[in-house]
Every structure is written in structure tokens, then in C-alpha cells.
Chains A and B, each alone.
Chain A
């Protein structure tokens, strides 16, 4: 996207506008598709019902109807939250902002990216923690005991699961030798396994343990079942979201699914070869030799990979019960972190050996 825009010699404001629109599409399109396909339809089929059928063909316009409904609702600030009304109102925006900050580093094609950081994955892991801030603020400023418990649980959980996530990513970084997400994609697709380059070298094969740990941590970062104690409808009555209504709740809701989509994008960039196909299929060797049509096909390939990963995230979400807070912490500190440390050591040793 960047190279295309620069070559067109547009003014700065036009480039910025196009980038903002691109960012909106990159965040909202996956979120909408995930909500419709998985939350509305897959969940319904799993539960032996049809789901929305009235709004549009097979209920495909249901999300728009829901958004319309939420936008009409009153934006309520509880009386006891009035002293910090500004902070209360700000919290969902912080959560959503973290998603937008996250999508900035995801590469969508050889030239289709928003920014191309040298330390892309480092940045992504850093900004993903911003949402903790929003959730903690939401839980605290709601002046509701359930929200407070939910917010504190979320903070504890997100901090605990940040660590295995970072450690899992380190394995990939060691193997690729770079933190740049674009270069990680290229390294996977241009690579070869024992001299055979028919599939490139997707890191999901060599870093399978890291992939599992990453996906488990993503599940916890998104507070999806079995790690959904911060929300926990049946005990905390939606936790930190309890007091939100109208479009602020909508932002939380969209943010949840958009973040699921963006995390799945990052996972597919790190482990499944991102936007690329194995370069040997078309005789490419480096990033400069890639045909231009990949800038169109790349986002679609990334989207397909993302949907496959979100499918697993949602499948687990819809079918498993919820852990308890202390069990979750124990799982993070006593199981995931030791395994990921061993994985890092093994990766490093093998990297030096080969």
C-alpha cells in the first residue's frame, strides 16, 4: 500500500486519509466477518439452532441491525461513576485504540503495509498490553463491585499471559533472525525444509510448541473461554463491561472480536507464512522479485489464514467451561512459561547447530 501510494505522488493528507480508511477496513472487516460467521452462525449450528435468519440472506445483515440497535441506546453513566465520568467514557476507546495500534504493523502484501518497523513484533507485543489499561480503567471507574473484580482479574490475567506470549514469539524471532514482521513472512516463504522448498518453511512446523503456547496466550489475552474470568457472565455479569451500554458497549464488543482477528493475523504472520505463498511455486526468490498482484492476493490469503485460526479460537470458546482465576495463573506460571523457556533454549541450540 505504502509503495503504491508513494509512487502515485499524493499529498500527505490524502495518504493519511487512505491509511486511516485502510486501517478501518483492516480492523472492522475481520471483526464483522468473525462476528457473523462464528458468533452468529457457527455457534448456532453447534447449539442445534439456526441463528439469525431474518436480516438479509441467512441473516448476513444482522450485525448492521445490531449496530443500529446499540447506537440508538442511551449512553448511561452510573450515578456512582459520575465523579470519574470522563475516565469511564474513555475506557472503551483505549481498548479499541490498542487494536488499531496493533494492526499497524501487520504486513498484508509485499508492498501493502501501514508501517514497516524493524522491531515490528516487539512493538506489537508492547501495544497489545495497552488494552489492559482500558480494561482496568473500565473496571475501576464503573464503581461497581462486579466490574472491579472483573477489571482486577483481567489485569492479573493479561499480565500473566503476556509473558508466555513473548517467550513463544522469541522462538520465532531466533529462527527468523529478525523482529521485522515482513522479513519473518519472507523468511518463511523463501525458506526450505531439508532442501525441499515446496512448502517454504512455515514456522508452525518447527515452532509447533511456540505456536500452541502463542494461541493459548491469545485465548487468554482476548479473555475467551476457558480464560474468560474477567467477563464471566454467570458470575461477574460481564465483569468490567457491566455498566456500559449503547455504543460504548458496542466498542468493547467490536474491540473484542477485532482483537481476535488481529491477533490471529499476527499468529498467521508468525507461524503460517502470513500473506505469502511458498515462493518456489512462482519462481520468486526475494521480496523484490514478487509479482505485483500479490499486493491484492496477499491480503486475501492472510484473511483466509486468519479465519482458519479464529475458527479454532472460537471453537474452543464455544465448547469449553471456564477455569478459575488461581488455576489460570498456575497454568501460566507453572506450565506455559517453563515450556516456552525450554523451547527457546532448544531453538537457540538448533539454530547454532544448523
Chain B
């Protein structure tokens, strides 16, 4: 840029351009814009390399790995109960949900099943972490689009949910509460009544966000018809979660698979949207928070009495074998492929996290959009860096 003042440089460029074209004035040079690794829109250290023509993106590619922490390798030197402390930190906003599929995989290998009460509490905490995660997304969405107020409402109301998780598990963000065969502890006294109150607050929060953001004409102008993912493209890129459902695919692991969790004991709607644009993705998430609060309410009504821990040996040795369990996490399908060779720790763990697959569509999706829309699309795809880089 500084060289443009240089007359020689200008003459050189003009000569080069004149060879190729008659009309030199309207030709513009391309520009490569690095969005990230340090950029407020990537909430973490994702780097997006975008080749721009003016403000239009002609080519874009996400470059992940700036926060790779090697969890798959680290699990190999941990015992099974220790791994939950690691996987907490994958999707750090909904961390309890990360523990569940791993524990379920280990239980599948050992052939134990958690007692019914533990399954209920697991599902409640799972849905609470989904609510905590997605309600922050709803506020953050506003910030990405320039509305600075909703995010504070989101932080305020997420705090109620985090308090519940803290009351039950002792940790706001990293509960490390799930055990093979059940849970560490039972629910604290008063948890059920308190949760009912909080779920009401969260439904009010959803109404507020719907009024503040989703009803706003500017918000709709910015998101409707932007970043449209058709059904077949969404499926072929392996999207999951709300991103897939917003493209009109009726797919929800909570309903579709039979795992020892309490979802099949509740009634809930799987929200889909036919449009597949940014607005659809945001809208689907908003409705899912509502559905989650209803799931929690139903589970609180039907929570059975009994122990929260099955009979498992003190020193856990998982028998030889391989198991794959995936669940519908806040960000999409999250699964663990656990290989055990009969030791105290896993031999190999492959983590399938939702965000990694979800951002694989970014090069396809960003082609031809304008710079402001990059931010909208990334925000609506909703990834968490820990979930991409692991």
C-alpha cells in the first residue's frame, strides 16, 4: 500500500495492466484479508483467509489449529474417569454435554448402565448446558451484527443456569460430574424447585430476544437469504445440529437413537426450518432453547427415586473392545470412538466434534458474499474454538 505513491511502481502496474486490458481504470487489485486468528468475530483463534475483490469474497478458507490441545493423544495417558476432566474443555460453554457421550461409550464397553435416576439427572444437566450454551449464542449474535445490548441480557440469564449447574456439580464451566455407572452425587436440596423458576425465566429471555433481535427489520435484512445452505449440500458436508435442521433436515439424535438417557421419556418437538439461511439457523436455535426448557420441566416432574450410581469396581478396567456413542450436543453431533485394550485407560479415542465438521462448509458458503456477511454467516454457523481444535 505504501508503495503506491511510488511513480515507478504505478508506471509498472499501468504497463502490466495495459497489456492485458484496454480499460485500466476500473480494474482493481485483489486483496487477501486475514480474519483472525485474533479477531472478535471468531470467538477464539480461528483464522479465515479471504481473498477479496473489493468487499466481495472470491475465495475463503478456514485455517484451524491455533488452539490445538491434543486431547485425543492426552486421553491415552489418562484413566477412564480422568478423561472427563479433559473433554469438559472441548466445547467449554456446554461442558457437561461433552462428558456424556464418552461416559456412555465406556459404559457400553463395560456393559453397565446407569440407574434410572442418574439417567434423568444426566439428561437434565445435559439440557441445562445446552440452554447455557445456546442462550449465550443468542446474545453474541447481536454483538456480531452490531447490537450491543442483547448480549448483556444473555449473560444475565445464562448466569441463572450456570448457578444451577454449579449447585448440582460444583463447577460452573467444568463440572467433571459424570462417572462411569452414574453420577458423582445426587441433586442438592431445593434444586428441582429452583430449576422450575429458572426455566420460566429462560422462556421470558427467549421472548425478549425474539422481540429485540428476531423481530428487528435490520436483523432480518442482514440474515434472511444470507448464507443459504441447501439440504443436499448440508448433508454432503456432514453438518449436524441446528445447522442441519435449519436446512430442513429432520434429524435429531435425541429422538432418533436409543441410548440410555431420559429423552425418550419426554415429549419434545424437533425444530426445523425450510430456508437454510442465517436467519433459519438462529431461529432454530432460539426455538430449541424453548424446547429444552420444556424437556427439563418434564424431566423434573418424572424424576424417579433411587440410587445415582450403579455397582462398579473401585478401579475401573474397561474390557477390550471398541465403542462409538454420539449425542446431540448444543453444537451438533458429538461422538467418541473409544478403543480399549483392557487397561485402566483408553488405548485410543477419536473425538468427533460438531464445530469441526460444521465449519468445513465455510469455503463453499463464503464464496461471493460481502465482508459484513462473513461475520453474519460465521456467527450463525455457531462454532466454538475448543470444539474445532480439541
> Any chain B CB within 8 A of the CB of A16?
no
> Any chain A CB within 8 A of the CB of B114?
no
> Any chain B CB within 8 A of the CB of A84?
yes
> Any chain B CB within 8 A of the CB of A232?
yes
Contact B375 A83 (CB under 8 A): no
Contact A80 B2 (CB under 8 A): yes
Contact A234 B144 (CB under 8 A): yes
Q: When chains A and B are docked, how far (Å) is the Cα of A12 from the Cα of B5? A: 44
> Any chain B CB within 8 A of the CB of A119?
no
> Any chain B CB within 8 A of the CB of A322?
yes
A228 to chain B, nearest CB (A): 6
B-facing residues in A14-63 (Cβ within 8 Å): 43, 46-49
Closest residue to B157 on the A side, CB-wise?
A48
Q: When chains A and B are docked, how far (Å) is the Cα of A229 from the Cα of B372? A: 8
0/1 interface trace, chain A 135-153, chain B, CB 8 Å (1 if under) = 0000010010110110000
> Any chain A CB within 8 A of the CB of B33?
yes
Contact A49 B152 (CB under 8 A): yes
Q: When chains A and B are docked, how far (Å) is the Cα of A323 from the Cα of B5? A: 34
Contact A323 B221 (CB under 8 A): yes
Contact A321 B375 (CB under 8 A): no
A-facing residues in B42-69 (Cβ within 8 Å): 55
> Any chain A CB within 8 A of the CB of B371?
yes
**Given A48-B152, A233-B40, A325-B370, is A320 in contact with B218 using a C-beta cutoff of 8 Å?**
yes
Contact B40 A234 (CB under 8 A): yes
> Any chain A CB within 8 A of the CB of B73?
no
Contact A226 B148 (CB under 8 A): no
Contact A322 B371 (CB under 8 A): no
Q: Which of B2, B34, B212, B221 contacts A84 (CB 8 A)?
A: B2
Q: Which of A48, A140, A233, A327 contacts B221 (CB 8 A)?
A: A327
> Any chain A CB within 8 A of the CB of B325?
no
> Any chain B CB within 8 A of the CB of A73?
no
Contact B146 A234 (CB under 8 A): yes
> Any chain B CB within 8 A of the CB of A212?
no
Contact A225 B147 (CB under 8 A): yes
Query: What total of A-B pairs shows CB separation below 8 Å?
Result: 93
0/1 interface trace, chain A 317-329, chain B, CB 8 Å (1 if under) = 0111111111100
Q: When chains A and B are docked, how far (Å) is the Cα of A148 from the Cα of B33? A: 11
> Any chain A CB within 8 A of the CB of B374?
yes
B-facing residues in A182-232 (Cβ within 8 Å): 225-226, 228-229, 232
B152 to chain A, nearest CB (A): 4
The count of chain A contact residues (Cβ–Cβ below 8 Å) is 35
Closest residue to A225 on the B side, CB-wise?
B146
Contact A322 B40 (CB under 8 A): no
Q: Which residues of B contact A327 (CB under 8 A)?
A: 221-222
The count of chain B contact residues (Cβ–Cβ below 8 Å) is 34
Q: When chains A and B are docked, how far (Å) is the Cα of A112 from the Cα of B348? A: 81
Closest residue to A145 on the B side, CB-wise?
B33
Contact B213 A321 (CB under 8 A): yes
**Given A80-B2, A145-B33, A321-B146, is A232 in contact with B218 using a C-beta cutoff of 8 Å?**
no
Q: Which of A140, A228, A237, A319 contacts B39 (CB 8 A)?
A: A237
**Given A228-B146, A324-B222, A324-B373, is A47 in contact with B152 using a C-beta cutoff of 8 Å?**
yes
Q: Which residues of A contact B2 (CB under 8 A)?
A: 80-81, 83-84, 143
Q: Which of A49, A236, A237, A323 contacts B218 (CB 8 A)?
A: A323
**Given A49-B152, A80-B2, A235-B41, is A321 in contact with B372 using a C-beta cutoff of 8 Å?**
no
Closest residue to B33 on the A side, CB-wise?
A145
Closest residue to A153 on the B side, CB-wise?
B55
Q: When chains A and B are docked, how far (Å) is the Cα of A339 from the Cα of B375? A: 32
B-facing residues in A240-262 (Cβ within 8 Å): none
**Given A48-B156, A83-B2, A234-B375, is A321 in contact with B218 using a C-beta cutoff of 8 Å?**
yes
Q: Which of B31, B147, B370 contacts A321 (CB 8 A)?
A: B147
Contact B375 A235 (CB under 8 A): yes
> Any chain A CB within 8 A of the CB of B300?
no
Contact A325 B372 (CB under 8 A): yes
A-facing residues in B121-161 (Cβ within 8 Å): 142-149, 152-153, 156
Q: Which residues of B contact A323 (CB under 8 A)?
A: 218, 221-222
Q: When chains A and B are docked, how far (Å) is the Cα of A83 from the Cα of B221? A: 41
Q: Which residues of A contact B146 (CB under 8 A)?
A: 225-226, 228, 232-234, 320-322
Q: Which of A225, A237, A319, A326 contacts B40 (CB 8 A)?
A: A237
Q: List 20 A-B contacts (CB under 8 A).
A: A46-B149, A47-B149, A84-B2, A140-B1, A143-B1, A145-B31, A145-B34, A226-B146, A233-B40, A234-B143, A235-B144, A319-B147, A321-B145, A321-B147, A321-B218, A322-B145, A322-B146, A325-B55, A325-B370, A326-B370
Known: A143-B1, A229-B372, A318-B148. 15 other contacts (CB 8 A): A47-B148, A47-B152, A149-B371, A225-B148, A232-B372, A233-B40, A234-B143, A235-B41, A235-B372, A321-B142, A321-B147, A321-B216, A322-B145, A322-B218, A324-B372
Residues of chain B having any CB pair with chain A under 8 Å: 1-2, 5, 31, 33-34, 39-41, 55, 142-149, 152-153, 156, 212-213, 216, 218-219, 221-222, 370-375
9 residue pairs, one from A and one from B, having the closest CB atoms: A322-B146, A47-B152, A321-B145, A321-B147, A235-B375, A324-B372, A321-B146, A83-B2, A234-B144
